[in-house]
Structure 1
Amino acid sequence: MSAQPAAGSSPALQQSLGTFQLWGIAVGLVISGEYFGWSYGWASAGTLGFTITALFVAAMYTTFIFSFTELTTSIPHAGGPFAYSKRAFGPLGGYLAGAATLIEFVFAPPAIALAIGAYLNVQFPQIDPKLAAVGAYLIFMTLNIVGVQIAASFELLMALLAIFELLVFMGVVSPGFSMANFSKGGWAGQDSFSALAIPGMFAAIPFAIWFFLAIEGVAMAAEEAKDPKRSIPIAYITGIITLVLLAIGVMVFAGGAGDWTKLANINDPLPQAMRLIVGDHSKWLHMLVWLGLFGLIASFHGIILGYSRQIYALAREAYLPRYLAAVHPRFKTPHRAIIAGGVVGIAAIYSDELIQFGGQTLTANIVTMSVFGAITMYILSMLSLFKLRRAEPHMARPFRAPFYPLFPAIALAGACVCMATMIYYNPLIFGLFAAFMALGYGFFLATKSNRAMHVAA
């Protein structure tokens, strides 16, 4: 399915992405989650408690990806979940999934940009992390505008370098690894499991999700894939396997490097974990800081690609201002959508008073906001899969979810558990998330006539 431009607008997106590039996008979108963000889960659950949480979330994501791939290959559309829910539940379903996905993909980049600033600050203490974050936005927005082929090739290179760096990290810290370090106080500060550890394990769910958040963004590159029905399943399945193995390895090796409590509330746990082994002046440490940026850049760059396609798809069908649906006549990229998402992300970086509450850091709260959008979209996507199986049994499905209905049911149940616990532990952030959704719904109602004209055209 090729993208069709709105009447009188600029050209459609260009189909140029191969399987290996899509795998690079799948891994690159997520891999910054192995570098930072997840360690905040240790603060509430401890290392062992968080391991249980992470394995639960990994099972949810694995079954979700196998199920989500059916939707992606059946309906290859730049809007991804927006298109699936719209087909299953009509315009309102499309709005809910599209808005939730947009919140996920617009709020993830500022958290990553702040981590880029933190990594640079380790090497150059005089650099303001927030200014570095803004600089990252300007650079990678520009790269995304220049062309999807260049952007995807760069993403693949960054993903490969990031994987190499994570393997180097595990190798360097392995001589000092101790399971005793990892397990000490591993049940929410206690050495043995008790019922008191369970609340912390639930509270840590957003940070376990951060390990895998945004892998579904490959769906938003479907219109730009050469052969989406073949290449997307391969990219998704190999991507989730790669990420699960890396997540387990990084978490275990970092926790066993020394006193893990020193890593639980910071944006750069890997350099600090390595510092516990090699000291402050080791060349390994400096190498990790520099190469560690590759993982952050890979996800940052890839999620910019993802949010821009979501904004473009929503605007193309009049769910957002049609102005944002323009495609650059030379580069064939949605340049206005790229810039619009960047403006919101930069504003979030400087939103300390709005988002920094609940006793958590700004980064932790931005991560949680992004996760609320993701979980809402996961629930709607699995419901769409069930609905379309019943309503359109003869729809072409190049890839069918294995073990149906078990896999999508596991993914749906896991997402519902995650949503319920996140609301319980993060009521203020959920209120802000609900307010964003409500504001968007007001725009959705106000522009109903525009969508009617779009359909008529």
Structure 2
Amino acid sequence: MQTNSAQPGLKRMLGSFHLWGIAVGLVISGEYFGWSYGWAQSGTLGFLITSLAIAAMYCAFIFSFTELTTSIPHAGGPFAYAYRAFGPTGGFIAGFATLIEFVFAPPAISMAIGAYLNVQFPSLDPKWVAVSAYLVFMGLNILGVGIAATFELLVTLLAIFELLVFMGVVAPGFEWANFARGGWAGMDSFSPVALSGIFAAIPFAIWFFLAIEGAAMAAEEAKDPKRTIPRAFIGGILTLSLLAMGVMLFAGGVGDWTQLSNINDPLPQAMKMIVGSNSGWLHMLVWLGLFGLVASFHGIIMGYSRQIFALGRAGYLPASLARVHPRFRTPHRAILAGGVVGIAAIFSDSFVTIGGLPLTANIVTMSVFGAIVMYITSMAALFKLRRSEPALSRPFRAPWFPFAPAFALVMAVICLVAMVYYNTLLALIFAAMMLLGYGWFRATRSARESAVFDPQLTASK
């Protein structure tokens, strides 16, 4: 690799609170929509079991992942860790899996934004609302990381407030009998079908937490990342775990949960069961609920752009995608490139269904496939680097090593096997995308050899 000092780098502006806002904001839309598709697979009780197991996996994963993030603070995040542990091929697997996760998640969120606004304004076309969201928030991300992160923190705080309001308003109508009725895959008692549903619901439980790891991609823009990132990650996963369990329990206990299991706006519809269609509480939920979707949408645009930027800088994608705006110091071409893919997915919604599920559910699952592969490679990289680089500076060391990362790794493998079994066609599509990416990887070796020298990737080589 050759050194190129003419290209400006990313700007360090983010403290612990900003990073916590990014970590929570990336994920918080998962509390507003997407997860309720899991009820259609496993019922409320089955999905509760799935969600608790996935929450445990994420807690173990984040405590372990933080060691990698603080040891190798790099905009590529998982790509950088796998490259350093396993070389260029490992970097490819983690980098492209992360890219699939972060590029496929925003279209689902933008369509949910359209669905929420359609509740308030039925004449609005949700697709055009989704496209407008892309244009607005790509522009905001291009303007600068300081502006983008401050906005992300603000909307994240508002989204958390709104989730607490939702739980408070529906709490008087909560009945455990409602939540438990037919709660084993739609049946009143546990059975082999219910067990099958518990595994089938895994992608939608992961959606509660998907993309929290994206805060790692802000490492090159963080002040003192070795201190600020652990605070952000640990505070973030605890915040999200409490919110996810609260929202799921209260939404499922207010009435007939089957009415909420295949829609993009379960919280407004759950609140309707308590306060009616004309209540001011409902209108407030729709308006403020948008902040949760916007926080994740905006944050994941930040995440995918940094992943595209890092892959372009390392020669895994065209070098032009690693250009940084000379004035705003943001990866503007990477931001726009991810947006093109997302907008194309939005307009595929009308005529694409897979396995009888709507496009949103399939996009969620595809994004989760990318995430799970990345989790596996990240935990494997942690074990490898502990052996190959014992002297590597580790400002934060994974607690309960090796048990916590081993638990996260085993759980991720179980999730991947279950997802392949229950989503065979999507698994084949995901595999085809990875193979196409690998073909590009093999064909562009010269681009990687002439890419900008990056000591974070090559220190161990």
TM-score bin (small chain): over 0.9
The residue that corresponds to 1:432 in the other structure is 429
Q: 1:183 aligns with which of 180, 185, 189?
A: 180
Matches of 2:293 and 2:202 in 1, distance apart? Answer: 21
Change (3 A) 1:276 1:52: same
The residue that corresponds to 2:395 in the other structure is 398
Deviation at 1:24, TM superposition (A): 0.3
Deviation at 1:351, TM superposition (A): 2.1
The residue that corresponds to 2:78 in the other structure is 81
AA matched with 2:25: G
Deviation at 1:195, TM superposition (A): 2.4
Deviation at 1:454, TM superposition (A): 2.5
Deviation at 1:193, TM superposition (A): 1.6
Q: 2:266 aligns with which of 265, 269, 289?
A: 269
Structure 2 segments unaligned to the other structure (5+ residues) = 455-461
Matches of 2:204 and 2:414 in 1, distance apart? Answer: 15
2:25–2:296 contact (8 Å) kept in structure 1: yes
Matches of 2:89 and 2:411 in 1, distance apart? Answer: 24
Deviation at 1:9, TM superposition (A): 5.1
2:3–2:453 contact (8 Å) kept in structure 1: no
Say whether residues 1:172 and 2:179 are aligned partners: no
Provide the identity percentage. 72
Q: Deviations over 1:105-141 (max 9, x none)?
A: 0000000000000000000111111110000000000
Q: 1:193 aligns with which of 182, 187, 190?
A: 190
Q: 2:68 aligns with which of 66, 71, 76?
A: 71
Matches of 1:146 and 1:453 in 2, distance apart? Answer: 30
The residue that corresponds to 2:43 in the other structure is 46
Change (3 A) 1:426 1:238: same
CA RMSD of aligned residues (A): 1.4
The residue that corresponds to 1:146 in the other structure is 143
Say whether residues 1:335 and 2:370 are aligned partners: no
The residue that corresponds to 1:111 in the other structure is 108
Matches of 1:132 and 1:335 in 2, distance apart? Answer: 22
The SS at the match of 2:451 is: helix
The residue that corresponds to 2:459 in the other structure is none
Change (3 A) 1:383 1:355: farther
Matches of 1:244 and 1:166 in 2, distance apart? Answer: 13
Change (3 A) 1:455 1:121: closer
1:5–1:11 contact (8 Å) kept in structure 2: no
Matches of 1:294 and 1:408 in 2, distance apart? Answer: 33
The SS at the match of 1:186 is: coil
The SS at the match of 1:333 is: coil
The SS at the match of 1:454 is: coil
The SS at the match of 1:20 is: helix
The residue that corresponds to 2:438 in the other structure is 441
2:33–2:264 contact (8 Å) kept in structure 1: yes
- Residue correspondence of structure 1 range 343-362 to structure 2 within 5 A: 343-352=340-349, 355-362=352-359
The residue that corresponds to 2:120 in the other structure is 123
The SS at the match of 1:388 is: helix
- Residue correspondence of structure 1 range 407-418 to structure 2 within 5 A: 407-418=404-415
Deviation at 1:456, TM superposition (A): 7.4
AA matched with 1:304: I
Change (3 A) 1:456 1:306: closer
AA matched with 2:367: S
Q: Deviations over 1:374-424 (max 9, x none)?
A: 000000000000000000011000000000000000000000000000000
The SS at the match of 2:373 is: helix
Matches of 1:270 and 1:450 in 2, distance apart? Answer: 48
The residue that corresponds to 1:369 in the other structure is 366
The residue that corresponds to 2:56 in the other structure is 59
1:10–1:328 contact (8 Å) kept in structure 2: no
Deviation at 1:7, TM superposition (A): 2.2
Matches of 1:41 and 1:108 in 2, distance apart? Answer: 17
Change (3 A) 1:230 1:382: same
The residue that corresponds to 2:235 in the other structure is 238
Matches of 1:387 and 1:456 in 2, distance apart? Answer: 23
> How many residue pairs get matched?
454
Matches of 1:81 and 1:6 in 2, distance apart? Answer: 23
Say whether residues 1:18 and 2:15 are aligned partners: yes
Matches of 1:50 and 1:351 in 2, distance apart? Answer: 29
Change (3 A) 1:454 1:117: same
Structure 1 segments unaligned to the other structure (5+ residues) = none
Matches of 1:117 and 1:30 in 2, distance apart? Answer: 18
Matches of 1:456 and 1:37 in 2, distance apart? Answer: 40
Matches of 1:385 and 1:75 in 2, distance apart? Answer: 11
AA matched with 2:291: F
Q: Deviations over 1:236-283 (max 9, x none)?
A: 001000000000000000000110000000000000000000001001
Matches of 1:6 and 1:39 in 2, distance apart? Answer: 49
Q: 2:310 aligns with which of 308, 313, 324?
A: 313
Q: Deviations over 1:133-191 (max 9, x none)?
A: 00000000000000000000000001100000000000000111111100000001112
Matches of 2:219 and 2:6 in 1, distance apart? Answer: 21
AA matched with 1:365: N
- Structure 1 window deviating more from structure 2 (212-221 vs 424-433): it is 424-433
Deviation at 1:290, TM superposition (A): 0.3
Say whether residues 1:283 and 2:280 are aligned partners: yes
The SS at the match of 2:450 is: helix
Matches of 2:244 and 2:221 in 1, distance apart? Answer: 29
1:118–1:129 contact (8 Å) kept in structure 2: yes
Matches of 1:43 and 1:306 in 2, distance apart? Answer: 30
Matches of 1:430 and 1:20 in 2, distance apart? Answer: 37
The residue that corresponds to 1:36 in the other structure is 33
Change (3 A) 1:149 1:5: farther
2:102–2:367 contact (8 Å) kept in structure 1: yes
The residue that corresponds to 1:204 in the other structure is 201
AA matched with 2:326: P
Q: Deviations over 1:82-116 (max 9, x none)?
A: 00000000000001100000000000000000000
The SS at the match of 1:103 is: helix
AA matched with 1:216: E
Deviation at 1:350, TM superposition (A): 1.6
- Structure 1 window deviating more from structure 2 (242-251 vs 345-354): it is 345-354
Q: Deviations over 1:209-259 (max 9, x none)?
A: 000000000100000001100000000001000000000000000000110
Q: Deviations over 1:325-380 (max 9, x none)?
A: 00000000000000000000111112247852101011000000000000000000
